[in-house]
Amino acid sequence: MALESPKREDLAYVLHSRRFRENSLLVDVLSREHGRASLIARAPSKAKSRLGESLQPFRLVQLTFSGRGDLFTLHQVEPTGPLRFLQGDRLLSGMYVNELLVRLTGRGEGEQPLFDLYAQIIDELASVVPLEPLLRRFEVTLLEVCGYGLPLHETWTDQLPVAPDAQYRYVIEQGPEQVHEEAGKASVSGAMLLALAGELAFTEETLAQAKHFMRGVLRHYLGEKPLHARTLFTSDR
pLDDT digits (tens, 9 = 90+) for 183-231: 556 799 999 999 999 999 999 999 999 999 999 999 999 988 878 777 6
Task: Report d(CA 63, CA 126) in Å as an integer.
Answer: 23
Burial class (CB in 10 A: 0-12, 13-18, 19+), 176: buried
Share of the chain above pLDDT 90, in %: 62
Q: Residue range 20-41: average pLDDT?
A: 88
- Residue 234 pLDDT more than 60? no
Q: Residue range 111-118: average pLDDT?
A: 91
**Whole-number pLDDT of residue 49:** 59
Query: Domains, the chain, ranges and CATH?
Result: 8-79 (2.40.50.140), 88-232 (1.20.1440.120)
Q: Is the pTM of this model over 0.85?
A: yes
Task: Report d(CA 194, CA 202) in Å as an integer.
Answer: 9
Burial class (CB in 10 A: 0-12, 13-18, 19+), 186: exposed
**Whole-number pLDDT of residue 84:** 81
Strands (E), the chain: 8-20, 24-31, 35-42, 60-66, 71-79, 167-171, 175-179, 188-189
